[in-house]
Chains A and B, each alone.
Chain A
């Protein structure tokens, strides 16, 4: 991809997504790559958000708010405990660092003033993938690339990565298979899939 700020011998795209770079002051310096197009918000077809993306799910828009998708096993409360509970049943356990561990997949939860704002998922090479709201997916080379403290709406308000969770790689594969199966069933019989998402309204 040709990019305005491309430097010789590297693939760092400095000016591909000026809107995101403006919102997240450290993003350009940290380096990132765009990995998808914009998806928008529900009810746009194919919309999903950072929480679903962190959970390896590109088919749902997960947030613990009324009328939005949220796993039935977690309370619909915008709190760290609810997010940890949602990911616990996907096989994740809280850990204390973001370092790459071969046998584990990791996710990070960003919080601002104690309120969850964003999640990112670690890739095998140690970089992170994020879905930024209704905007594009990006791979950012550091976790603090999305660190932001407002003021909204001009600047992002993700806060910083406060909680890390990891999942054993074999569990990941099993859960990913179940998620794939769930999506296939949900596509074929919409009512079946929504059993998972629509409870606890």
Chain B
């Protein structure tokens, strides 16, 4: 039988205290700072996500606007010599503008106001509206004013 003798070590009072109450770690010492950092990190992540959303939406808007401008310019070029209203509206580029739907309305109204292009049928097709009195039909100035007034009330321009 193996005989084993352990040295008789008498623990000192300070050692027991150290065993029961270990020295505070770095994390414990800096808990407040860590919590503060976590809060800051979450805030930063939120801000980053918001910035990303803003950038993405902004670029989408920019894409839509440039797409509209390109289609509108191509339509103008392709139909400069056409008198038939149905041919003007039936042009593929004009139909593509109509298919842009409501998001294109601010650009249509802006173009109607500044470039005075023929957007009455597109506006009517997208919105299903005729915001002018029926007696003002064919009065292009009043029709324009009515569309712009409607757009301003809706906050679209």
Using A41-B118, A43-B112, A43-B116 as known contacts, say yes or no to A117 and B83 having CB atoms under 8 A apart: yes
For the residues of B in contact with A, the DSSP-based class is helix
Q: CB-CB contacts of A88-118 with B at 8 A, as 1s and 0s?
A: 0000000000000000000000000001111
User: Are A117 and B84 in contact (CB-based, < 8 A)?
Assistant: yes
CB nearest to B78 among chain A residues = A153
Q: What is the minimal beta-carbon distance from A22 to any residue of chain B, in angstroms?
A: 10
Contacts between chains A and B (CB distance < 8 A), count:
103
User: Are B81 and A67 in contact (CB-based, < 8 A)?
Assistant: no
Mark the stretch among B3-11, B97-105, B133-141 that contacts chain A: B133-141
Q: What is the minimal beta-carbon distance from B110 to any residue of chain A, in angstroms?
A: 14
Using A43-B112, A43-B143 as known contacts, say yes or no to A67 and B137 having CB atoms under 8 A apart: yes
Give residues in B with beta carbon < 8 Å to A: 77-88, 91-93, 112, 116-118, 120-121, 124, 130, 134-141, 143-144
Give residues in A with beta carbon < 8 Å to B: 19-20, 23-24, 38, 40-45, 47, 49-51, 61, 63, 65-70, 78, 115-119, 131-135, 152-154, 156-157, 190, 194, 197-198, 201
Given contacts A68-B138, A153-B92, A201-B134, list 4 more A-B pairs with CB under 8 A.
A61-B140, A133-B79, A152-B87, A194-B135
